[in-house]
Structure 1
Amino acid sequence: MNMTTSVDSVEKRFLVNLSGIIDILSKHLYSGPHVFIRELLQNSTDAISARYNYGESQNNLEGKISITLLPKTLTHSQPQLVIEDNGSGLTEAEIHQFLAVIGESSKKELLNKKAHDYIGQFGIGLLACFMVSNNICLQTRSIKQKDRVFQWQGNPDGTYQLDEIEQQMEIGTRVILTAKTEGEDYFTDASLRHWMQYYASYLPYEITLNTTLQSNVRINPLEPPWHWGSLSKNEFVDRAILIGEKYFRGPFFDTLALKTKAGKVRGLGYIISHATTEHQQKHMIHLKGMRLTKSAQNILPDWAFFVRTIINADDLRPTASREALYEDATLLEAKEELGEQLISYLVNIAENEPNKFQHFVSCHQMALKSLVLDNHYFCLKISPFLKFETNLGSMTLGQYIEKYKNITYVESVDSFRQFAQISGAKQECLINAGYSYCTEILNLYAHLSKIKIEILDPQSLVGQLEETEIDPYQLADFINKAKTAMSEICPNISVKKFQPEQVPSLYISCEKQYFVKSAKINQVESDELWSDIIDTVTKPIESYMFSELCLNANHELITSLIHCKDLSKLQQCLKIIYVQSLLMGHFPLNENEMDILNSGLISMMTTSLTFQDNSYTQH
């Protein structure tokens, strides 16, 4: 029989170890103690915005925030920081509700109506001050309770004290922090100026710093780029370049204004003017004027790694750390809009500034090709402006189609080398699609634009060559002799007529042949383990390989060999012709083929010298 002990059911609240929470914020959520500056500036900015939203006219109020550094004195053994604003202030009830409850925010009652006016929405910002101070003293006078001034003092152990004080104070809030020993480095003129400028250069209200060195130093005197009025193109570029060179490494290929409906994003885009291997994006993101980060990676499509941005978003959500943007549907929509603007920009310069576009392609061709495959509209618009290598010289795809109507290509560089001379002699234009994305781009563009496309492969090359007029019996006899002579090297031999006639032969093979040939050459110098690995990889491929030595009946040497009766000389000549065809096709030579080349050259030189000696003796 199971026995259970009944207890009274009582609803209780979780208890929070505030010191533990502060440790988590310091070591895991925030990037460092310096973020307390951002949190204070953010709270002050939101308080001023709240005062406007409570009905205070901007004509009657000029929002201001000041930070004053007080050095050590006889009565204060540690430096102090005083942050003051003329925002909405807090009532007694709001202090209990928002300062004493983690996760509550004084902006929550207005968030549903005017969320875009506020930066902070999480209710944990003030806790960041405990990373540099053991005590937070807050004095406030509320616009809703103008006759009372309150002082709240919070401690990192979770205790706080609230008093009403007899003190003259303007409507707003004052926060007083006393540095703890490990936080003193952040209570200096240099540190405060750096982090205030880092976070607050584009905040909408006047922010000043006061220290023993200088008073009323304006932190944010510059007009944010997203508030620039109508400027001429030259004025816009000049201003944008100055800002871009300050934050990113220049020079820049171009600058452009960016704007989206989703997230209310506005700002500047910079296209870097050099090829980059840094595929990680780096963007400077602001939220309602407050900088979140200078290295955001999720605001543009992945292919746009050649762009840097300085932007502000009014309606995107930050993460809890406020150092990145939260991935949601609005961010994805904004990212798509920004991508479309970049596409429109590239299409425009391709159509109207071709030289500028070709310079862009030379710097960022991999990103561009990736985009072409990712976006059908962009593929149709941009592909005609992309340059391709052909056997008749480099030309854009648009120029190629205008002249030849249909697309003919080979899909590897080695195949292109085999086809190039023959196609050129026939005045046929062949595209080399052996480079990254070329094959995919050609096929996608042909599909979208309904253009006929043809791929040539090495095995089809022999069938395109002209048959000879040599007596069939004589030709068959020669081919049998040639196959016997070359049985250990290249047993597949044919004789055709082709141009140019100066080329005695072609070595025609598939891509697998080139790979296996290179692997076998490396195998000679490999240890036993690596040699076994190469065998394991290449043996299954060898049964599918195709290669053939095609001799040109238009070449006088080949004509002479067909009538050659000396099998030894026939074998020697065919081996040298074979090695020459490998060199013409840029194929690697193994040890045996190098011996053939060396012995052939030595034999030729010896014969030449012997002939000269005989001529000299006769004279």
Structure 2
Amino acid sequence: MNPDASVPSDASDASIPSDSIPSDASDPSVPAVNTFQVDLRGLVDLLSHHLYSSPRVYVRELLQNAVDATTARLLHEPGAPLRIRLIADGSTVVMEDSGIGLTSDEVHTLLATIGRSSKRDGLENARQEFLGQFGIGLLACFVVAQRIRVVSRSARTPDAPPVEWLARDDGSYTVRTLPHEARPEPGTTVHLEPRPGAEEWTDPRRVAELAADYGSLLPHDVTFTGPEATDRPLTERPAVWDRTYPTPTARRVALAGHCARVFGFTPLDSIELDLPVAGVRGVAYVLPAATSPAQRAAHRVYLKGMLLTDRADNLLPDWAFFARVVLDTDTLRPTASRENLYDDETLTAVREALGARIRNWLTELAAGDPDRLAAFLGVHHLGVKSMARHDTELFALMLPWLPFETSDGRVTLDEFARTHPRIHFTRTVEEFRQVSPIAAAHGLGVVNGGYTYDADLLALLPHIREGVTVTELDASAVTAQLDPVDARRELALAPFLATARTRLDALGCDVALRSYHPVTVPALFLDDREARHERDRAAAEEGADQLWSGILGALRGSAPRARLVLNDNNPLVRRIAAITDEELTGTAVESLYGQALLMAQRPLRPSDTSLLNRAFLGLLEWATHPLAAPTGTPGTGTSAQTGTPAAAHEEGDK
């Protein structure tokens, strides 16, 4: 075995005396240069308790050192016997390997200096073959151990006796030479004596579970021996994505079973990730249900067969939130704790390569398997739309498949564009839902642009479809599609329309009369972006001081105003238009305005809320005193039905 490092030697003191670098003693003006002092106990506590997120990593470090040691042995002595065995009997945890081993000098050099590693210091030329690099791995064992005993014999000097290194969690260690029979063959054995309270992590079942989780894809065979003294293999090579299967269906079934074991779900589909240039081999599993783009992914990454992390969240582009990845890599760089990936240029390149592979998978589905593509888009169309915003080729490819909410129902944008070459879209879902029934009845093509990415994609449509125009829906476009009222009828209703316009003028709203379907809609509130800006400006002007009121007043332009379109086909509108009482007519129109606002789910201004309250109370008063005018006290005013004084009716009744 080839442990990364451990604690410096000084059993009697908790700190290392500073080593001075000689300076020019003849020149007192030149200051002496010293090295930092290190508190051993504090450093051991820092590295073993705070560098790693969980005590479970000590098993990984034991496996890592054993694998690196056997790899070094093969480089030094090709064909050498290989053996890695993990033993846990409930009282101790032991790792045995037939690796390169350590000499007495190497024990002092490597195990006694924190941060020193043979993989970095040139004792092994092929550093890229090793898992460990940082020289702090063995310290992870102090998370669960109060004492670490290493017995090692070097394969480079087979005649040298074995050496023992014994370290304690107080920062002290001893080294001694053992008889030849203590370790007849080259290799290393590490004994861990658990600390009180760490029994959970040294339980044989837990040790076996962790070892299988971390080491199932290691390049060398690893066995585990528990209290029953029976060896059983921990490695399962080759990886599921590297195995051969008799049919493509059998391969998909095997991958689906692997996904269920690792992630707990049966994938909608599997994407092969064979990218030799990027040093990546694995598989991406497509989630079977929609998920939020904001939810952080948890990918499973192996580094040269050793599990690095099962919570990598920076492996795929953000738009690929619909996939979970399991892969093995030999190019990515781990962090010092080896619990995540270091976000550098290499990871950026791998991320782009994986994104390109997922994009190619979509292209292949569109070309050869439309049923699987339709099933995928039925769940994850949002992710594809996110991709297509920045990739017009992908957008053109996916156009026949991407669903949009339109006035013709939920159809693809490609199909909708063939029927409606002039497309209008709304900025909000509420505006679409109000306009959609009227637009559908009158042949106006409207797309709901209120959902994520839809407005962006609609803006790209004219670039890939000739003859198609896309504009934001405005009040004039809708009004122009509605049937005008006969000129004689509109002239007869001029007093009614004048009253309605007078009542709503202060609210920045015009009134129009049209005939449209469905008949059940009495009034339609329409505005556009310019009209909303004008309303916001007017509201700000009302609440501003004199200076700002003047400035905002100067900004008043010729922007179109909001519009309340009354439906002359609606029976209620016809009855309201026939009322001769001007006050009651105005109250009824205000009620229609408020109802149209609520149907459009627009935010209500204070003036709108005041109008709704006034209209509601006015109608209640008229309903409870049908012979009284809504503005007078009960028993006075004008009859709402005949226009005659209410007192005359009362006298007649008497």
- For 2:266, the equivalent position in structure 1 comes to 251
Aligned-partner SS, 1:435: coil
1:251-297 Cα shifts (integer Å, max 9, x gaps): 32122221334541211211111123471111111111111122111
Out of 169, 187, 190, the residue aligned to residue 202 of structure 2 is 187
Which shows bigger deviation, 160-169 or 236-245?
Answer: 160-169
For the Cα contact (< 8 Å) 1:225–1:268, is it kept in 2?
A: no
Q: Residues 149-188 of structure 1: matches in 2 within 5 Å? A: 149-156=161-168, 157-163=171-177, 165-167=179-181, 169-188=184-203
Q: Residues 130-529 of structure 1: matches in 2 within 5 Å? A: 130-156=142-168, 157-163=171-177, 165-167=179-181, 169-221=184-236, 223-229=238-244, 232-261=247-276, 263-277=278-292, 279-447=295-463, 451-463=468-480, 465=482, 470=487, 479-484=497-502, 492-496=510-514, 505-510=523-528
- For 1:107, the equivalent position in structure 2 comes to 119
Q: Amino acid of the residue matched to residue 241 of structure 1?
A: A
Task: Give the deviation of 1:396 after TM superposition.
Answer: 0.3
For the Cα contact (< 8 Å) 2:70–2:99, is it kept in 1?
A: yes
Q: Evaluate the alpha carbon distance shift between residue 93 and residue 476 of structure 1 in structure 2; reply closer, same or farther with a 3 A threshold.
A: same
TM-score (norm 2): 0.76
Task: Give the deviation of 1:395 after TM superposition.
Answer: 0.9
State whether structure 2 residue 55 is matched by structure 1 residue 40: no
Distance 2:66 2:87 in 1: 14
1:571-605 Cα shifts (integer Å, max 9, x gaps): 5765565566557656688333444676788899x
For the Cα contact (< 8 Å) 1:285–1:312, is it kept in 2?
A: yes
Task: Give the deviation of 1:556 after TM superposition.
Answer: 8.2
Task: Give the deviation of 1:226 after TM superposition.
Answer: 4.4
Q: Evaluate the alpha carbon distance shift between residue 112 and residue 130 of structure 1 in structure 2; reply closer, same or farther with a 3 A threshold.
A: closer
Task: Give the deviation of 1:80 after TM superposition.
Answer: 3.2
Q: Amino acid of the residue matched to residue 153 of structure 1?
A: W
Q: Evaluate the alpha carbon distance shift between residue 235 and residue 114 of structure 1 in structure 2; reply closer, same or farther with a 3 A threshold.
A: farther
- For 1:52, the equivalent position in structure 2 comes to 74
Q: Amino acid of the residue matched to residue 223 of structure 2?
A: T
State whether structure 2 residue 83 is matched by structure 1 residue 64: yes
Which residues of structure 1 form unaligned runs of 5+? 72-78, 518-531, 608-619
Task: Give the deviation of 1:231 after TM superposition.
Answer: 5.2
Task: Give the deviation of 1:318 after TM superposition.
Answer: 0.9
Q: Evaluate the alpha carbon distance shift between residue 468 and residue 186 of structure 1 in structure 2; reply closer, same or farther with a 3 A threshold.
A: closer
Alignment coverage as a number of residue pairs: 581
Q: Evaluate the alpha carbon distance shift between residue 493 and residue 203 of structure 1 in structure 2; reply closer, same or farther with a 3 A threshold.
A: same
For the Cα contact (< 8 Å) 1:372–1:383, is it kept in 2?
A: no
Q: Evaluate the alpha carbon distance shift between residue 273 and residue 501 of structure 1 in structure 2; reply closer, same or farther with a 3 A threshold.
A: closer
Q: Evaluate the alpha carbon distance shift between residue 86 and residue 227 of structure 1 in structure 2; reply closer, same or farther with a 3 A threshold.
A: farther
TM-score (norm 1): 0.80
For the Cα contact (< 8 Å) 2:115–2:136, is it kept in 1?
A: yes
For the Cα contact (< 8 Å) 2:84–2:95, is it kept in 1?
A: yes
Identity %: 29
Q: Evaluate the alpha carbon distance shift between residue 535 and residue 313 of structure 1 in structure 2; reply closer, same or farther with a 3 A threshold.
A: farther
For the Cα contact (< 8 Å) 2:151–2:164, is it kept in 1?
A: yes
- For 2:644, the equivalent position in structure 1 comes to none
Q: Evaluate the alpha carbon distance shift between residue 149 and residue 401 of structure 1 in structure 2; reply closer, same or farther with a 3 A threshold.
A: farther
Task: Give the deviation of 1:335 after TM superposition.
Answer: 1.0
Task: Give the deviation of 1:505 after TM superposition.
Answer: 4.4
For the Cα contact (< 8 Å) 1:388–1:396, is it kept in 2?
A: yes
Aligned-partner SS, 1:252: coil
Distance 1:316 1:491 in 2: 62
Which shows bigger deviation, 318-327 or 559-568?
Answer: 559-568
Task: Give the deviation of 1:492 after TM superposition.
Answer: 2.5
Distance 1:557 1:212 in 2: 86
Q: Amino acid of the residue matched to residue 329 of structure 2?
A: A
- For 1:25, the equivalent position in structure 2 comes to 47
Task: Give the deviation of 1:320 after TM superposition.
Answer: 0.6
1:217-261 Cα shifts (integer Å, max 9, x gaps): 222245322432355322222222222212212132122221334
- For 2:652, the equivalent position in structure 1 comes to none
Task: Give the deviation of 1:121 after TM superposition.
Answer: 0.9
Task: Give the deviation of 1:193 after TM superposition.
Answer: 1.3
- For 1:522, the equivalent position in structure 2 comes to none
1:378-403 Cα shifts (integer Å, max 9, x gaps): 33322442111222222101111233
Distance 2:503 2:513 in 1: 15
1:428-479 Cα shifts (integer Å, max 9, x gaps): 3222222222111211343455643222212443355565552597675554
Q: Amino acid of the residue matched to residue 357 of structure 2?
A: Q
Task: Give the deviation of 1:145 after TM superposition.
Answer: 1.2
